[in-house]
A and B are shown apart, each in its own frame.
Chain A
Amino acid sequence: MLEVKDLSVRYGDAHVITGVSFQAARGAITCILGPNGSGKTTLLRCITGLVSPASGRIMFDGQNLQGKKPHEIVRMGLIMIPEGRRLWPPLTVEENLKMGAYLVNEQARIDGQLSYVFDLFPHLGSRKNQLCGTLSGGELQMVAIGRGLMGFPRLLLLDEPSLGLAPLVVREVFRAVEKIVDAGTTVLLVEQNTQVALSVAVYGYILEIGSIALESDAASLRENSHVKEAYLGL
């Protein structure tokens, strides 16, 4: 569904990503793992058009994303949930969710998707009139994912959804992500929490200092000695 080939990104003279290639298969979770500063977030920002690549090609559903503006990419069904949630604190939960449907014109579709999000995160239903500035980290992450879903994504990019969450909440969020995939949305997951990411993903890539160091299906990554040592601490 998403195919990235030989992608390089530079900030001025600093080479952040050099020659990265990977694929995200339709209807599954693909994960990209890596330590701080390895270029994970830059990679996502590049796919969503917020940063333009120095070279390389990004294909989404057979279409080249080169030169496309962020809002055009969103319109194509590729939506990112940014790291650190980035909601609008003065808006309520429901308003934040509805903002996610900015490009959707039919009220019936918006209402339908809204009840789907509240089914997915029952927690949010009881808090829908609460200001987002007053929510806990886990609830914020749920609203952020919900807001992404409101735009009817075909491919959802998740940037470190586990960041700053308690293990129990991380499990809840990832159960929801699995349900989202079951409902037909493809997910590209970028994580530092290797253990959780590999337990839900089908295929994984390890990004180190801006290039892919290792790639394999999730099960063999879990058994890989380098991954075990450096990431799982086993």
Chain B
Amino acid sequence: MGNLTRAFVSERTAGCIVTGFVLALPFLLSFNPYYTSVFVSALILGAVAIAWNLLAGVCGQVSFGHAAFFGIGAYTSAVLVTKWGFSPYLGLVAGGVFGGLGSLIIGIPAFRLRGPYFALAILGFAEVMKLLALNLTWLTEGSLGIMNIAPLPPLEVGSLKIDFYASRTTNYYVVALLMFAVYLVVYFLRRSNLGLAMSAVHGDDETAAGIGVNVFRTKAIALTVSATCTGVMGAFYAHYVRFLSPDTAFDGYWSVMPIVASLFGGMSALIGPMAGALVITGLDEFVFKRFFETGHKLFFGLLLAVVIVWAPTGLLGNRVGKRSEGDKR
């Protein structure tokens, strides 16, 4: 392990540092509002990655198809708001609920499978959901997509009026709040007894069963919570972009990029995926795109290869968490 000067911080400190950075970012980027909207996408991705990592990093069940829950959340909210006149805030909640329910539909049969087979089952589910969105035209407008989705309306608390769409910066802080909420859910879940059970399942699910952990229930809860958070983010995305088509809502981007962000940021730290999302977005925007306008996404592959070879635990991997005596040697 060698490097004795390695910084070592607790999950809570790392969470505070990254959150502080997220809060300060709009001031650093104030020279060009375009960058603020780039980082709104980074925060959406970061929140989905944190949720993905609850299932993969904490409970050990890798999913290749979180686009399914993202798209379900986005479409649920878009349809409820544009067709039935629901409030977009209810849409966020409903997006989460339906994302969670969708995960149970695939999770209950898929948890009979393990490892890559489970991951592929969810990938298949995402494709099926995309086809449904394409073909249930009476509900989703098919490939035309849903246009003019209402944005989140201003919130009025007493005489104080908060308008999220006044500027890109307020928009940014809404998604920062959502991201932080997702982080807190995952943070407290891991500290609970259930989180302990998830870690046990991650280590070895038969041994976990051997100490009395209900393995199926534990996996199902991890998946449902992860999918619910992803669904809420999808619903937010619908009201932020204000246009949905099956290709954007169920885009493979939402399945692949959370994995890239988590691997890059470090899966053992709960805030790692968020840090990863910020860093890869920053690199993409300020470095890759400068030099290679087309094909800059190729660099994600290269970047991932570099991380896997030189820092397999990711950016924050070995630096966050508890230090144990075995580490000191």
Binding site for B on A (CB under 8 A): 48-50, 69-71, 74-75, 79-80, 82, 86-88, 90-92, 99-100, 102-103, 129-131, 133-134, 147-148, 151
Provided the pairs A88-B203, A99-B200 are in contact, do residues A82 and B325 lie with their beta carbons within 8 angstroms? no
In the complex, are the beta carbons of A86 and B211 less than 8 A apart? no
Give residues 296-329 of B contacting A (CB, 8 Å).
324-327
Besides the contacts A48-B209, A70-B215, A129-B325, what 7 more A-B pairs have beta carbons closer than 8 Å? A69-B214, A74-B210, A86-B210, A99-B211, A131-B326, A134-B326, A148-B210
Please provide the chain B residues from 192 to 225 with a CB less than 8 Å away from any CB of chain A in the complex: 196-197, 199-200, 203-204, 206-207, 209-216
B197 in contact with A102 (CB, 8 Å): yes
**How many residues from B make CB contacts under 8 Å with A?**
20
Q: Which residues of B contact A100 (CB under 8 A)?
A: 211
For B325, the chain A residues whose CB sits under 8 A away are: 92, 129-131
B216 and chain A: residue at smallest CB distance: A69
A92 and B200 CA atoms in complex are apart in Å by: 13
Do A71 and B207 form a contact, CB below 8 Å, given A102-B197, A131-B325? no
- A50 engages B326 (CB within 8 Å): no
- Asked whether A151 lies within 8 Å of B212 as measured between CB atoms, the reply is yes
Known A71-B214, A82-B210, A151-B212; contact A131-B324, beta-carbon cutoff 8 A: yes
Which single member of B207, B213, B215 contacts A86 (CB below 8 Å)?
B207
- Complexed CA–CA distance, A49 and B213 (Å): 13
Q: Is the CB–CB distance between B196 and A70 below 8 Å? A: no
| In-complex Cβ contact of B200 among A48, A102, A134 (8 A) | A102
| B324 x A129 contact (CB < 8 A) | yes
Contact across chains for B326 and A79 when beta carbons are under 8 A apart: no
Whether the Cβ atoms of A74 and B200 lie closer than 8 Å is no
Q: Within the complex, what minimum Cβ distance (angstroms) separates B157 from chain A?
A: 42
B212 to A74, Cβ gap below 8 A? Answer: yes
Which residues on B sit within 8 Å (CB–CB) of A99?
A: 196, 200, 211
Q: Which 6 A-B pairs have the closest CB atoms?
A: A131-B326, A70-B209, A74-B212, A103-B212, A88-B203, A102-B211
Residues in B with CB closer than 8 Å to A82 are 206-207, 210
Taking A71-B215, A86-B204, A129-B325 as contacts, is the C-beta distance between A102 and B209 under 8 angstroms? no
Closest B residue to A133 by beta carbon equals: B326
Among residues of B, the one whose C-beta sits closest to the C-beta of A75 is B212
Instruction: Say what secondary structure dominates the interface of chain B.
Output: helix
Do residues B206 and A86 form an inter-chain contact, with CB atoms below 8 A? yes
Most buried by A among B206, B212, B214: B212
Which of B206, B212, B216, B327 contacts A102 (CB under 8 A)?
A: B212
Closest A residue to B326 using CB positions: A131
A–B complex contacts, Cβ < 8 Å, 9 sampled: A48-B210, A69-B216, A70-B215, A79-B210, A86-B210, A92-B324, A99-B196, A99-B211, A102-B212
- A147: contacting residue among B197, B203, B211, B327, CB under 8 A: B211
B209 touches A74 (CB 8 A): yes
A102 contacts which chain B residues (CB < 8 A)? 196-197, 200, 211-213
Per-residue CB proximity of B212-252 to A under 8 Å, as 1/0? 11111000000000000000000000000000000000000
CB within 8 Å of A: which B165-217 residues: 196-197, 199-200, 203-204, 206-207, 209-216
**Distance of A103 Cα from B326 Cα, bound (Å):** 28
What are the residues of chain A within 8 A of B199 when measuring CB–CB? 88
Q: Which residue of B lies closest to A148 (CB)?
A: B210
Residues on the A chain within 8 Å of B200, using CB = 88, 99, 102
A147 CA / B319 CA spacing, docked (Å): 29
Contacts of A103 in B (CB 8 A): 211-212
Q: Give the distance to chain B from A125, nearest Cβ to Cβ, in Å.
A: 14
Complex CA distance for A80 and B204, rounded to whole angstroms? 14
Docked complex Cα distance between A222 and B326 (Å):
45
Residues of A within 8 A of B216 (CB): 69
Most chain A beta-carbon neighbours within 10 Å: one of B203, B209, B210: B210
**Cβ–Cβ contact B212 & A71, under 8 A:** yes
Task: Give bound CA distance, A51 to B216, whole Å.
Answer: 15
Chain B residues within an 8 Å CB radius of A79? 210-211
Residues of B within 8 A of A69 (CB): 214, 216
Task: Determine which of B196, B210, B326 lies in contact with A80 in the assembled complex, contact meaning CB atoms within 8 Å.
Answer: B210
B214 contacts which chain A residues (CB < 8 A)?
69, 71
User: Is A130's CB under 8 angstroms from B212's CB?
Assistant: no
Bound Cα distance from A129 to B326, whole angstroms: 8
Residues of A within 8 A of B213 (CB): 71, 102
Least CB distance from B322 to A in Å reads 10
Residues of B within 8 A of A92 (CB): 324-326
A88 and B211 contact, Cβ closer than 8 Å, known pairs A102-B197, A129-B325, A131-B325 = no
0/1 string, B60-95, CB within 8 A of A gives 1 = 000000000000000000000000000000000000
**Closest Cβ–Cβ distance, residue A110 to chain B (whole Å):** 13
- Can you name the residue of chain A whose Cβ is closest to the Cβ of B211? A102
- Measured CA separation A42–B234 after assembly (Å): 45
